[in-house]
Amino acid sequence: MTELPLDVLPGVANVHSHAFQRRLRGRVQARNPAVRDSFWTWREAMYDEALTLSLSDVERTARALYVEMVESGYTAVGEFHYLHHQPDGTAYADPVATSRALLRAAADVGLRITLLFTVYARGGIDTPLSDRQRRFATPSIEAVWRAVDALQADVSPTVQIGLALHSVRAVPREWLGQLTAGARARSMVVHVHASEQPAEVAATRDAYGLTPIALLDTEGALTDVTTIVHGTWATSDDIARLATRGSTVCLCPTTECDLGDGVPPTSALFRAGVPLCVGSDSHVVVDPFAELRLVEHLARAATNERCVVVDAHGQVAPALTQIAHRHGYRALGLDGTGDTIGLDLGHPTLASTNADLASVAWLSGHPGVIDRVTVAGHELVRNGRHVERAALIG
């Protein structure tokens, strides 16, 4: 992008979002002493919440979340969306009603969005969908294309439609290549959760003799328009495949820490040349500064080194800027022209420093240092608040 004033940063793409999961914030921070708490117990709480939400709940929750995102410095979102049906599993009169609700919420707020229509066809490898997963069902490849093609009418400079394969657990092996090829033919990006959990990796190895990432590659689903979400347990072979195919990895550090997923191989990914981006995923935290800082800090903790994710001159801030903006927008198939974050130079975090402002902001900042946010050339945030905040969320 063109050179920006010293007090302006490029907008951040929030590449991985499940908007409805914001409703779990603060409600899943206690454990049953009789049960080992993990991602899998958290998932049951997520299912409970998913089965309570009306169409208006989906839209209202997303609108409030998107206001929070813009005020925090996110200027684009990838909405990985699988609440396709009514809570009882029956279809809405408009089969993409919930997708359209999310698009309306983003339009109301002014946030760029790539709606990643998610394929969710089974409950696990060789396991049908459970009753608790009934809202997520995509019964056939043909049904996927009908939904995606219906949403194409909403495409604009600030809206794109993409395809998400929920995971290799939830999508049959024989669908992976067909769906990726169909998405490419429609000029859509493809996102997929992969290698997030050790149990997922073990189950995929048991079933196919391959890791999730290797399975995607074998089936032709690992390409230069594919973004792997998490990749926490990626092997050295997986990383080589990602680098060869030109695939992107979206790290979600605050969620990965919250769920106890593990520490991603950030250093190995970065040094292999795999493009990285970030997402706030379950939205326990909506703070791009925190996500970007954790990308670097978790890499330091894992390697016992400092300044791991750096540019050619050994500087951290320019590398984080690329992750925040260039790689993120590429992963979403969006143009970030006119998307910027204006900083409050009088904020105590930024004041009285002779250091590079981007270094201070990314490594020490938080949403409180933001004065204004512009998306597609339109000022959405002024003095740290969305200009239509009261009308949008009351």
Token representation of residue 169: 């657990």
| Terminal C-alpha separation, the chain | 35
Task: Assess contact for 39 and 261: CB atoms under 8 A.
Answer: yes
DSSP 26: T
How far is the C-alpha of 344 from the C-alpha of 294, rounded, in Å?
A: 23
How far is the C-alpha of 313 from the C-alpha of 15, rounded, in Å?
A: 27
Nearest partner of 87 among 145, 137, 44, judged by Cα = 137
| DSSP-assigned letters across all residues of 159-199 | EEEEEEE--TTTS-HHHHHHHHHHHHHTT--EEEEES-SHH
Token representation of residue 290: 């925190």
Task: Assess contact for 22 and 72: CB atoms under 8 A.
Answer: no
Q: Annotated catalytic residue: which of 217, 238, 258, 281? A: 281
Whether 344 is a known active-site residue: answer no
Q: Annotated catalytic residue: which of 191, 193, 230, 386? A: 230
Whether 281 is a known active-site residue: answer yes
Give kind and range of the element (H or E) at residue 119. strand 112-119
How far is the C-alpha of 265 from the C-alpha of 253, rounded, in Å?
A: 12
Token representation of residue 129: 């969908």
Catalytic residues: 230, 281
